[in-house]
Structure formats: structure tokens, C-alpha cells
Amino acid sequence: MVPITLFLALAAILFCIGLYGVLTRRHLVIVLASIEIMLNSVNINLVAFSAIGPFANISGQVFSLFIITVAAAEAAVGLAILIALYRNRNSIDVIKHDLLRW
């Protein structure tokens, strides 16, 4: 039996890597991949916590499936926006796309 602290440490490391990627990278594809890494770290936490305790249940796995579904929809919409931005501006650099700034 693997202790829960190893799963939590792995999830924390993955979340920090994803957060670093979102905050520091300028390439939109890398930002989308970093968001996916962050969502996967949340999935690890949900599955790990649903497996512990005297009465293990599958609610964490069910929530994890919902998060995977939302992540797939987010990736599809994000890539569609990415393609539209590239067609209009010929660049996928985050800094150059300031359409929503004041």
C-alpha cells in the first residue's frame, strides 16, 4: 500500500509545474498544456482521497471523470481560439494578443 503523502506530493509538484508554466510562458500551446497538467494534479488528489478511509468510495473517480470531460472541452475550445488568433494575427505569442486589455 502506497502512503497518501506520496500521491499528495506528486500532485503538489505537478500543480507547481503547471502553475509555473501558466505564469511564465508566452506560447499559448504551452499555457494550455500547463493548465492540463494542473487539472491532472487535481485528478490525482481526488482519486487518492477517495481511496483512503474505512469506507472507500468512488466519488473521487466520478469527479475525476467530470474533470477529464471539462479538460477535453477546454482543450478543444482553447485550440479553436488558438487557430483563430493565428489566422488573424499570424502569431501565438501571449504578449502580442492584448485585445481584451483596457
Q: What percent of the chain has pLDDT over 90?
A: 41
Average pLDDT over residues 10-33: 91
User: Could you give the 3-state DSSP secondary structure of residue 97?
Assistant: coil
- In the chain the domains, ranked by start, together with CATH numbers, are 4-89 (1.10.287.3510)
Query: Residue 81 has what DSSP assignment?
Result: H
- Residue 83 banded pLDDT, cuts 50, 70, 90: confident
Q: Across-strand partners of 27?
A: 93
Average pLDDT over residues 71-88: 87
Contact 92, 86 (CB under 8 A): yes
**Residue environment code for 13-27, b if the CB has 16+ CB neighbours within 10 A, otherwise e:** ebbeebeebbeeeee
For residue 102, is pLDDT > 80? no
Distances (CA, A) of 49 to 9, 16, 61: 13, 19, 10
Residue 28, pLDDT score = 80
**Other beta carbons within 10 Å of 41:** 21
Give residue-wise pLDDT tens across range 24-61: 987 888 888 999 999 999 999 988 888 887 777 888 88
Residue 86, pLDDT score = 82
Average pLDDT over residues 63-84: 89
User: What does the mean pLDDT of the chain come to?
Assistant: 86
Which residue has better confidence, 43 or 86?
Answer: 43
